[in-house]
A and B are shown apart, each in its own frame.
Chain A
Amino acid sequence: MTETPTVQFLSVEGEFAPTESAEEYRSYLDRLSETDLQEFYRKMVVVRRFDGEATNLQRQGQMALWVPSHGQEGAQVGSAYAARPHDHLFPSYREHAVGLVRGIDMLAIVELLRGNTHGGWDPADPTNGNFHGYCLVIGSHSLHATGYAMGLQRDGLVGTGDPEVDAAVLCYFGDGATSQGDVSEAFVFSASSQTPNVFFLQNNQWAISVPVSVQSRVPLYLRSRGFGVPSVQIDGNDVLASYAVTAKALDDARGGGGPQFIEALTYRIGAHTTSDDPTKYRENAEQEFWVKRDPIVRFEKYLRSLGEGDAFFDGVKAEADDFAADIRARTLVLEAPPIGTMFDHVYSEPHPVMTEQKLWLERYESSFQEEQA
């Protein structure tokens, strides 16, 4: 296997300096208007502010847990932007920026991690941008994404040549997930059926406390090739690389070219979750190395080099603050779900045990009210 150099458009200093391997993807950037570039920046900043607010809310007891996305905004926003409205996106649990780009109400993620729901947003609701549910069993959703893509094929929505019709499935997972059998099986099934899947790996260097070197002795993008799934490695903290490479992969997949695999090199700046303590297993120097490669700082430098001024950046900051304030306000008034709802959706059709136990619980609960009265 020959290794191909990482695709990058923006240098760490924010200069437009495509690597040789980026040339192939350069034309995809022509699709972007100035407004699109502004949107890239806006979404990255808003989601980072959201993420910070949610972390604070967790610290203040409003959530059992928070899963930070800090540092991975470039990989997420660029790739999510590359998807068309009728594409489908299957996240794992850290893809907050993808959810934001696809238009879900971000409070739904807070509700999940607060313990109010197990997910709760309806991917079939058009306002949710075909953003499927979070999935906590590492790697398991890669097979759902593959099956979903098989469904698109059966529905005749692949390779027609009509951009309004053809669709693909973009599936996100982490470096730890690549060791799961389900991810290998997803490669097998998608290659076998030549499904319109793009598997997007965010290699954030860590699976909780375990470094990526434990998961693989070769760069992870090479993993899929033995399965017959072509792959490319990108600088995941370069939002332009993330956009362009994902756009091409999705185009190929929609067109009937079969599955594609992208490894985005990035870094989890924060803890794995709010329950984690990264000082126990990693060095400050590593974090500093990656902070210098921050996707937002880099892109701001680039936008300033294009002439964007303080008014824009200040405006985005104010917007992000408003967004966070709104999330905080709505979080503080969230109430626990009614107890009976526990039984309501275990099955789609009536089920005698659910009916019986729901009734029993209602009677049991009301017996205490009678005692108090």
Chain B
Amino acid sequence: MTTVNPSNPTTAAAAPEVQELPMAKALNLGLAKALADDPKVLLMGEDIGRLGGVFRVTEGLQAQFGADRVVDTPLAESGIIGTAIGLAMRGYRPVCEIQFDGFIWPGFDQITSQLAKLTNRGGGAFSMPVVIRVPYGGHIGAVEHHQESPEAYFAHTAGLRVVSPSTPNDAYWMMQEAIRSNDPVMFFEPKSRYWPKGPVDFTGSAAPLHASRVVRVGTDVTVLAHGAMVSVLMQAAEIADAEGISLEVIDLRSISPIDYGPIVDSVTKTGRLVVAQEASGFVSVGSEIAATVAERAFYSLQAPVLRVAGFDTPFPPAKLETVFLPDADRVMEAVDRVMAY
């Protein structure tokens, strides 16, 4: 099978089938592929054109596809989402960029009251194939509103699908799957993972958008996360190994719906579960998983499900972010506690 390098189709034949790329570039290539494959796809957002977005995820796309397909919009999030909805009604597949997690709220009403509900309101007469890209999470030392993890607000809303890749390969494929979905997809991009490189396999095929996945096999404790926290779990697994504790790591990938199959299988095997996230713990994705696993794997559990999360405070000033954000040691503290049962 020949590989097409979507960023530069003319040199497609020469492109290697697997490339080491940062997630930002993988997303860029995923977007480029979607733009090339379907003329109805368009990108909308603030500074995504000539600048290529503040994280350069859309770099070069306006030059390649034109200002009609990669649109610098006025600076108004409700307007971006609301007009994307109208475009979707007309048969387009808009992909909206929200510049930073903390700036999604002016568009919250359009997302939750309109985008999420319109298919239902219309009795299924039309679908809402809109993707909303949200660079999210901490570890970038930024000012207020630039490091938040608001995914639970959207997971709580019926009508939306919510996903978050943790690797460049998933980023490339999940972006295309999200754009192909006929339902609205909130696509949370872990911005601290934009730059580390990882393999992207262009010859592969897309895993189901909403499948969770065991990314490290272990026997003693199941640890689970999405987005940037998955790499923290991998570090914790190394530390645990040295202590003689075997962690099985699950990458959630999809926050709504949640694919419980691999999670329940894993917990049935290990009997212990720790869920980790950057977001505050109260009424969070981790809380939901803890409750459901308690229902579905009650007789397998040898310890309560523990949550490792950001504190229930606003995201602190950057000098305190490493205290707020769970690291491998905080994960190990919970691992030690579940092992003590």
Contact = CB atoms under 8 A, between A and B. Distances in A.
Interface of A: 117-125, 132-133, 135, 137, 140, 142-152, 154-155, 181-182, 185-186, 188-189, 192, 344-349, 351-353
Contact of B83 (A117, A135, A147, A352): A147
Contacts of B210: 352
B76 A189 contact: yes
B113 A137 contact: yes
Contact of A120 (B110, B113, B123, B183): B123
B181 interface: yes
Contact of B119 (A142, A347, A352): A347
A353 B260 CA distance: 11
B196 interface: no
Interface string B104-117: 00100110011001
Contacts of A349: 181-183
15 contacts: A119-B121, A119-B122, A122-B125, A125-B125, A133-B122, A143-B86, A144-B83, A147-B88, A148-B87, A155-B90, A185-B74, A185-B76, A345-B122, A345-B124, A349-B181
Contacts, number: 138
Interface residues of B, number: 44
Contacts of B257: 351-353
A150 B90 CA distance: 9
Given A189-B79, A346-B159, A348-B182, A148 B90 contact: yes
Nearest to A345: B124
B127 A348 contact: yes
B78 interface: yes
Contacts of B92: 151, 154
B309 interface: no
Contacts of B121: 118-119, 133
Interface string B162-189: 0000000000000000000111000000
Nearest to A90: B86
Nearest to A149: B86
Contact of B86 (A125, A148, A347): A148
Given A143-B86, A345-B124, A185 B119 contact: no
Which of A133, A182, A185, A353 has its CB near the most chain B CB atoms (within 10 A)? A185
A348 B113 CA distance: 17
Given A137-B113, A353-B257, A348 B79 contact: no
Nearest first, the 4 closest Cβ-Cβ pairs linking A and B are A147-B86, A143-B82, A151-B90, A147-B83
B125 A143 contact: no
Interface in B121-153: 121-129
Contact of B89 (A148, A188, A192, A351): A148
B84 interface: yes
B5 interface: no
A181 B78 contact: yes
A353 B110 CA distance: 23
A118 B73 CA distance: 31
A185 B91 contact: no
B78 A143 contact: yes
A140 B114 contact: yes
Contact of B74 (A120, A182, A189, A351): A189
A345 B123 contact: yes
A185 B126 CA distance: 25
B85 A147 contact: yes
B295 interface: no
Given A346-B120, A347-B119, A137 B90 contact: no
A189 B140 CA distance: 32
